[in-house]
Structure 1
Amino acid sequence: MKNIRKICILFVVLLNVFTLKAQDRTFSLRKGVIISHSVIIKKKVYHFNHTDSLYQAPVVIEGDNITVDFNGSVIDGSLETAYPDRFTGTGVIIKSGKNITIRNLIVKGFKVGLMAKGINGLTISNSDFSYNFRQHLNSNREREDLADWQSYHHNEKDEWLRFGAGIYLRNCDSTDVHDNTIIEGQCGLMMTGCNRGLIYNNNFSFNSGIGIGMYQSSNNRVLYNKLDWNVRGFSDGIYYRGQDSAGILVFEQCDNNIFAWNSVTHSGDGFFLWAGQTTMDTGDGGCNDNLLFSNDFSYAPTNGVELTFSRNKMINNIIHDCWHGVWGGFSYNTIIANNDFAGNMSSIAIEHGKDNIIDQNHFTGEKTSIELWSNPKRPKDFGYLQKRDTRSINYSIRNNAFTDVKNVFNINNTDKVLIENNKISGSSLQQKFDTTVNDLEFDKTGDRAKPTIDSGYFPKPAGITNGQNTRLPGGQLQGKKYIMMTQWGPYSFKYPIAWRNKTDSSGKISLDMAGPTGKWKIISAKGVTQPSSTSGTVPGSLIVQGDTTALADIDIQFEYTGEAVTSTFGAKYKTGQPYRFHYRQFDIPYKWETKWFVFDTTNEPLKNEAKFRQLLAGQPVKTTQGPDLSTVFGKGFGKNIAREKIATVSTSVINVPQGLYRIGISASEMVRVYIDDKLVVENWDPSKLIYDADYHRDAVVTLKGLHTIRVEQAQYSDYGMLNLIIQPVYKEK
C-alpha cells in the first residue's frame, strides 16, 4: 500500500508540475510547467490565474544554453483587464541557469511580466510585456493627490516590486534586451545589480512610472530606445510635479553607463540620476562617469535631466520646454557641452556645484539660461555635506550661444567663475550677479563673440547596426499640453478620447476630440445640453453646456469609427469597427466645515482614545469652511494651529443619485471616514505608513440621496494632506 501511495503522489506531482526536455518540438503550456531545454511553444492564448506571490509563476525556465521561442503566445494572468491595480503574481520566472534566450513572448495581466535573478547571458527579444500592473491614480485634472508619489530610493529588498514591472532583472550580467515593447503599465524594464548589459531598440513608453530603471548597475549601454510619456503628477497649466516618474531612472552607485540616441520626451523627469543613500550617508561613491549622448529629453514637466551628487558627462542632447533643462544639485567635475536648450524656464540650475564645465551649448528663448548658487547657512545634516566640499565653486562657461534669452546668467554665493567667449543676442538681461560672487572673470562675451568648437567634447560611443530611429514622428502631437493624464496613466493616442480643455464661468465645457483619425457621434448624453454638434471628426472639438447650479453628473457616450483602435486596457478594434467611449464628470457641491483641535500627551489619539474622543466633542480652536476639503485643510494651518499634534473633524452633506461609489481618502498619518455615522474607511495605524501610497485607502459603497460625510484626521508630525474622492464606479471595458 505504501508503494501504491508513493506512486499516486508522484503521479499527481507530475500532472501539476512537469518538465519539457525534448528539443525541436512544439509544446502547449500548462500551469506549473518547468522548461529546461530549448523548445518552441505552440502559439495560442494561455489563461493562467495569477497568484498572490511574485516569486511563483505559471511558467518557470531554468537551464544552461537554451532558447525558448514562445512563437507569439500570450500568457494572460487576469480576465479583469479594466482593473490593472488588482493584478498580482509574475507571468514567467527564469529561475536559474545561464545563456538563456527568450523570444516572441507576450505577457499581460500580472504584477510582473517576467522576472529573472542571477541569470548571466540572458537575452530577451521581440517580446511584449504591456498591460501589466499599474496603480490607480488619485490625482485628477484639478488637483494633485500626494499619495500618488513614488519612491525608488531603496531596492536592497526588492522594494521596487511594489510598483510591478514589465521586466524585472536582479544580478543579471551581460544581458541583451532588444526589440521589446512595454506600454500602458507602471514600470518598464527595472534592473538591480545588472552590469555590462545591452538594452536597445525597445519601446518602453506611455507608462505611469518608469521606462528604464537602474539600481547598482554599471557598464551598461542603453541605445536607440523609445522612452516617451513615462509620467504622472501633471496637469497642464495647473500643477507639474512628476511624482518621481522618469523615462530613465539611475539610482545608487551606477557607474560608466552609456545612454545614447534615445527619445525620452514627455516624462516626469527625462533622466533622473541620484547618487544613492550610500553616498548621502558616507560621502563616498555616487553615480559617476555616465555618458548622456545625443538623446532627446524634451517636454519634461520637471527636469529634462537631473544629475545630483555625482560626476557625469552630458553631450549633444536636445532639451526643450522643460521646467529645468538640467538640475545638477551638488554635481561636480561634470561636463555639459554641445547641447541644444530651448524654451525652458531654467536651462541649467546647479546648487552647490563644483568644478563643472558648461561649454558650446545653444540656448534659445528661455526665461533663464544658467543659474548657479549655494546656501552658506545650509546645515550639514547628513554625511555627504560633512565630508565633501560643497561650495559653489570653479566653473568654466565658454563658447555658448544665447539667443532671445530673458536672463542669461543668475549667479550668487559662488566663487571662481570663468565666463568667456559666449555670444549673446536678443537678451534683455545678460547677467545677474551680486556681491556674493567672488573671483569672476567675464571676458569676450556679448553680441560680437565668436564661440569656438572643441571636437574633444564629441565622444564616439559605440553604436549598433540597425539602431532604430527613435525621434518622434512628424505627425505626433508634441509638447506638455499633450501630457494628458487619465486615472491609469498618460494618454497613448491609440484610442479616441474627449479631453476637457476648459470650463468657463457659465459652465460651458470645451472638449478636444483626440485620437486616431476618424469620426465620432453622440449616442447619449446626461447632465449637459446645447452640444455644438452631435457628430464630427477626430481630431476635432465639441462644446456642451453644463449645469453650474447643482451636482455635475455628466456622461456623454460617443461612437467612433475610423482607424484601428487599441484601448487603454489593450482591447483591439479593427479599422472601421465601432468603438464606444465616454466623457464623464462627477463633481459634488460640498460645503465643508472643518473643526481644528490640538492634542497633547493627555489626550493623544493612539494612547488615550477616550480622552481623544472627548477632545473632538469639545470646543475647537479654529473652524474653517469651503467647497474643497483639501483646500480647506491646507489653508487651515496658521494662527493658533501648529503643524504637529493636530486633529480635524470635517463634515459635509451630499446628495447623490443611487449607485455604487468609490470612496477614496488620502490623509496625513491617521484618518477615519464615516457616512451617516457608519465607519467606511479607516487608516489609523501610523506604523504602517511606509510609502506614499500607504496614505491612501479606498472603499466601495452604495449611496442614494442625502448623506452626511464626516472625516476625522489626526497627525503627530508636520506632514499635511487631506483629500477625499467620491466617484461613481463605472463599468469599464
Structure 2
Amino acid sequence: MVALFVALAGSILSAQDPAWVGKTRFFGANDDQCVYEVKEDNVTLDFKEGVILSGKPVNPDRSQLTGTGLLIQNRKNVTIKNLTVKGYRFNVRVVNCENVRLINCQASASRTLRMANEGKAIDTFLDLRNIETWRTYGAGFWIEGSKDVSLTKCSANDAQNGVILVDSTGCTLLDNDFSFNSGWGICLGRSSDNQVIWNRADFCNRPWSGFWGGDSAGIAVADSSHRNYFVGNSMTHSGDGFFLTHKGDQFNEGTKTVTLHGPSNDNVIAYNDGSWSTANAFEGTFSTGNVYYQNWACDSAAAGFWLGYSDNSLVLDNKIYRDGTFGVAIEHGKQNLIQDNVINGTKGAAVGLWASGDWKAVARPSERNDVVGNKLKDNALAYDLRNGRGAYIKDTSVENSPARQMTESLVASAPNTSNRSETFTRTQLAKVKELLALRPKDFRYYRELDLPKGIGWLQAGDWAPTNFAGQLAAWRQPDPGCLEMYLLEAGVRIAAPNFVQYDPTPEDPHLVRISMKPEAADPGRDQPIQLNMATTDSKRRQQINTFLRTAVWNIKWFAWPRMTYDDVDGWKALFAGNPIATQTTRALGGDFTGRSPMAGVPSDHFALAAETKVKLEPGKYVFSSLSDDGIRVFLDGQEIISRWNHHGPTPDEATVTLDDQPHVIRVEYCQESGSAVLHFDWRKL
C-alpha cells in the first residue's frame, strides 16, 4: 500500500495561481511528505524552468535526503514540463497513474549512498533483487504501479539511481540522460512491455573490492520483467552496461535441483552499447528467451555477454571486441543460439558453453547450444565447452583462436535451435525497426563523441563517478608520476609549473600528458602541482591540484617453481637469486591477466621484488594494495601488509606514521595462476 503524503507547499491545481512558474522554491520534506502534489486529472503544467530544492543549500550528505519533491498519485492524463527538482529521496514520484508525460525535467542529486570519502572508496554491493531495498535507495524519478508513463528529454545525474520503474507497463523512456550515477541509470523491476530507447546511461558505476562494479549498471532489469524493448541506448563505462536477472533462486544439493524465482524473459536488447564496462558489457542471467541483437560489447573487463543459467537466448550479429574473459559466456544454459557475431581479441575463450563439474551439471546441464556463422579472430581460445554436451559448432571463420579438442559428447552433428533467429525475424524485428526510426536527430552514442574513453577514465567522487560535463578537461593519473588531461573543447590554455614536462600524445589530439622533468632526486618525493586552465577569453577556468610522484622502483622479476606459500626458505632463496629480468619504472603493477608482464617473464608463476626509497612530509599515511595473488609489503624492513597465499583480487591497507627521514619500501608479489593483478599506492591522511 502506498502511503498518504502531506503536501507541504500545497496541491497543484490547474485553477491555482501558478506561483511556482519560473521560480526557485526551497522546501525540506520528511519521508511521509512531498513538496507539491498534482491533484487534478487532464492537466498540462509548464513550470517554465521552475526549481524545487530541499534546502538552501541542499544537504551535502546525500545519504540523509528524505521526502519527495513532486508527487503525482492516482492521476490520469497529466503532463509536466520544464521542471527541476533536487535534493530528495525521490525527486519526482509517479504512483498508480495512467498517461503521465514528463518532458524536459531535471531530477539530479537525489538520495545516494556514499561511495568514497576523502579519496578512500567505500564498498557497497547493491541489492538488485529486492525492490523493497530500492525504496531505501531513492531515485531521481520513481514510477510505480503505473501505465503509459513517458519521460522525454529528462535527466537525472550525479546521484545513485536515475529512473526506477516498479510494477509498471506500457511506459516509454526516450532521449533522456541518466549518466554519472553510482547505482543504476535505468532500472526496471516487475515491469513489462515497456520501451527504453535512445537514452544515455554512461558512467553508472561504483567502487567495489578494489576495482569497480558492486552490481551497478547503466540499465538494470530484475524480478519478472518481460517483453521489454531496449533499443539504441548508450551505457558505457558502467559496472555492467546492461544487467538482467531474476528475483532469486534455490540451489539444493540434497535434491540436486535448481529452482528459479522471478526470471525476466522475452526481452529484446538491440543496438545498445555496453562497452568499457568494469564487469560485463551485457549480463543476462537466470532467464529465458531474451534476444541480444546488433549491440556493441567491447573493451570490458570481463565478458562481452555473460548469460549464465539462461535458456533459448539469441545472441545475433553483435560486435564483441577485446573483452577481458569471454566473448560470449553461458554456464549451465541450454538451447541458446550464438550466430553471426564478430568476436575479436578476447583474452579468454571467444565462446564459453560449460557447466561446473559437480551436481549442477546434471540439474542444469549445458546442452544443445548452437554456435554458427560467427567470425572469430585473435582470441586466446575459440571455445570452452567443459562438462557440456551436444553443442553444434559451425562458424564462418576461426583465425588465430586455438580450439581445444572437442569429443563427440561435447559436440552435435546437427543444429539444435535451427529456427530461433527466424522466429526473432518474424515476430520481433519489425518492432525493433520501428523503434530505430525514433532516433532523435541529435542523439549520439558516447562512442561517437569526442570524449575520453576507457575504464581508466572512471574517477570516484564522494557520491557518484566524477562528472566532467561542463569542465574544460577531464583528468586522471594513470600512475602517480603522470597526469593526463582530455581537453573537452578547443583553445584551452594551460599554465603549469616549470618543473614538469609535456609528453607526446600522438594517439589522441585531445590528450595532454604531463610528468616531472628527469631529475636525479633520490629519495623520491610527492611533489604538489597546480595546473590552471582557461578558455581563450578567460571567462571559464578550471584548476587541478594534485601531486606527481618522483619515486623510482627497481624491480627484479623471477619465475618461481611450484613451491608452497609457506616455504619460507624457498622464497628467500628465490628473491636472493638472479632475476630473469630487471626493470626501472615509476609505475609499479597493473593487470597482467593472461599475459607476460614484460619481455622474458612467463605469463604465470612469476614473481617480483620491487624497492624504492622515498622522503615524504611527516604524518600519517595509508599504504594500500590490491593483489591477486600473494603480496608482502615492507617499510624499512618491517612487514606492514601480508597476504602471501593464492587469492582473487583482494584489497589490503596499513596505516603508518612517517617522519621526515628517507624510508625504504619493498613490495614482494607472486602470481600463481588465473587472473594477475597488482596495485600499490600510498596517501597522506
Q: Displacement, 1:550?
A: 8.7
Which residue of 1 is the match for residue 307 of structure 2?
A: 328
CA contact (8 A) 1:399 1:452 kept: no
Aligned amino acid, residue 28 of structure 1: A
Trace 1:355-374 onto structure 2 (pairs within 5 A): 355-367=335-347, 368-374=349-355
Is 2:15 aligned against 1:27?
no
Using a 3 Å threshold, how does the CA distance of structure 1 residues 349 and 56 change in structure 2: closer, same or farther? same
1:147 and 2:147 matched: no
The 8 Å contact of residues 234 and 485 in structure 1, kept in 2 or not, is answered as no
Decide whether the 8 Å contact of 1:87 with 1:132 is kept in 2.
Answer: no
Letter in 2 for 1:325: G
Counterpart contact for 2:620–2:655, Cα < 8 Å:
no
Q: Give yes or no for contact 1:253–1:276 (8 Å, CA) kept in 2.
A: yes
Deviations 1:551-610 (Å, cap 9, x if unpaired)? 8584x44433228xxxxxxxxxxx7424343323599876899xxxxxxxxxxxxxxxxx
In the TM superposition, residue 105 of structure 1 has moved relative to its aligned partner by: 0.8
2:382 and 2:633 mapped to 1: Cα distance?
45
3-state SS of the aligned residue for 2:390?
A: strand
Deviation by residue 1:275-320 (Cα, 9 ceiling, x = unmatched) = 1126779535411111112212222121111111111111222211
Identity among equivalent pairs (%): 22
CA contact (8 A) 1:493 1:514 kept: no
Letter in structure 2 aligned against 1:372: L
Q: Tell me the residue number matched to 1:438.
A: 409
Separation (CA, whole Å) in 1 of partners of 2:452 and 2:654: 43
Distance 1:428 1:15, change over 3 A: closer
Cα distance in 1 between the residues matched to 2:37 and 2:465:
32
Match of 1:125 among 103, 110, 114: 103
Question: For 1:318 and 1:57, how far apart are their aligned partners in 2?
Answer: 41
Residue number in structure 2 paired with 1:635: 643
Once the two structures are TM-superposed, the CA of residue 179 in structure 1 deviates from its matched residue by 1.6
2:286 equivalent in structure 1: 309
Cα distance change of structure 1 residues 186 and 415 upon mapping to structure 2, 3 Å threshold: same
Q: Does 1:109 align with 2:109?
A: no
* Distance in 2, Cα, partners of 1:174 & 1:16: 28
- Residue 403 of structure 1, CA deviation: 2.8
| Inter-partner Cα distance in structure 2 for 1:503 and 1:195 | 47
Does the CA contact (< 8 Å) of 1:232 and 1:268 recur in 2? yes
User: Structure 1 residues 578 and 426, CA, compared in 2 at 3 Å: closer, same or farther?
Assistant: same
- 8 Å CA contact 1:262–1:470 kept in 2: the answer is no
Match of 1:705 in 2: none
Q: How does 1:332-347 map to 2 (within 5 A)?
A: 332-345=311-324, 346-347=326-327
The 2-side partners of 1:487 and 1:119 are apart by 35
User: Distance in 2 between the 1:441 and 1:417 partners?
Assistant: 5
3-state SS of 1:169 partner: strand
Change (3 A) 1:406 1:649: closer
Task: Give the TM-score, by structure 1 length.
Answer: 0.66
Indicate conservation of the 8 Å contact 2:339/2:374, yes or no: yes
**Secondary structure, in 3 states, of the residue corresponding to 2:492?**
strand
CA–CA separation in structure 1 for the residues paired with 2:463 and 2:633? 32
C-alpha separation between the residues in 2 aligned to 1:211 and 1:552?
37
Match of 1:74 among 32, 51, 75: 51
CA distance in 1, matches of 2:525, 2:619: 6
In structure 2, do the counterparts of structure 1 residues 439 and 94 end up closer, same or farther at CA, with 3 Å as the change threshold? same
- CA shift for structure 1 position 627: 6.0
Mapped to 1, the partners of 2:622 and 2:152 lie a distance apart of: 54
- The answer (yes or no) to whether the contact 1:370–1:409 under 8 Å persists in 2 is yes
In structure 2, the CA distance between the partners of 1:265 and 1:498, relative to structure 1 (3 Å rule), is closer
- The match for 1:427 is 400
Tell me how far apart the structure 2 counterparts of residues 499 and 514 of structure 1 sit (CA, whole Å): 9
SS where residue 303 of structure 1 aligns?
coil
**Paired position in structure 2 for 1:543:** 515
- Quote the Cα distance in structure 2 between the aligned partners of 1:221 and 1:22: 30
Residues 308, 333 of structure 2: 8 Å contact kept? yes
Partner Cα separation in structure 2 for residue 325 and residue 651 of structure 1: 38
Q: 1:549 to 1:154 in 2, by over 3 A?
A: farther
Q: Take 1:148 and 1:334, find their aligned partners in 2: how far apart are those partners?
A: 31
Name the structure 2 match of 1:460.
430
Taking the aligned partners of 2:73 and 2:655, their CA distance within structure 1 comes to: 53
The one-letter amino acid of 1:349's match is A
Distance change (3 Å), C-alpha of 1:455 and 1:548: farther
Q: Secondary structure at the residue paired with 2:75?
A: strand
Partner Cα separation in structure 2 for residue 493 and residue 393 of structure 1: 46
Q: What is the CA–CA distance in structure 2 between the aligned matches of 1:553 and 1:134, rounded to whole Å?
A: 34
Question: What TM-score results when the alignment is normalised by the length of structure 2?
Answer: 0.71
2:176 maps to which of 186, 197, 202: 202
Contact 2:246 2:260 in 1 (8 A): no
Query: In 2, Cα distance between the equivalents of 1:403 and 1:560?
Result: 44
Spell out, residue by residue over 1:30-54, the C-alpha distance to the aligned partner (whole angstroms, 9 max, x if none).
xxxxxxxxxxxx2122222x23x23
Paired AA for residue 295 in structure 1: N
Aligned counterparts of 1:550 and 1:162: Cα–Cα separation in 2:
47
Q: Which amino acid aligns with 2:319?
A: D
State the match for 1:704 in structure 2: none
Deviations 1:224-262 (A, max 9, x none): 112222122389xxx643121101100111111111121
Structure 2: unaligned runs, 5 residues or longer = 1-5, 252-257, 549-615, 624-631, 647-651, 661-679
Equivalent residue in structure 2 for 1:519, among 492, 499, 511: 492
Q: Given the alignment, which residue of 49, 57, 71 partners 1:93?
A: 71
Question: Is 1:59 aligned to 2:30, yes or no?
Answer: no
Alignment of 1:578-617 (within 5 A): 578-584=540-546
State the one-letter code of the partner of 1:373.
Answer: W
Letter of the aligned partner of 1:541 in structure 2? R
| Number of the residue aligned with 2:152 | 178
Q: Which residue of 2 aligns with 1:665?
A: none
- Please give the secondary structure, in 2, of the residue aligned with 1:219: coil
Secondary structure of the corresponding residue to residue 199 of structure 1:
strand
Contact 2:382 2:398 in 1 (8 A): no
Tell me which residue corresponds to 2:356. Answer: 375
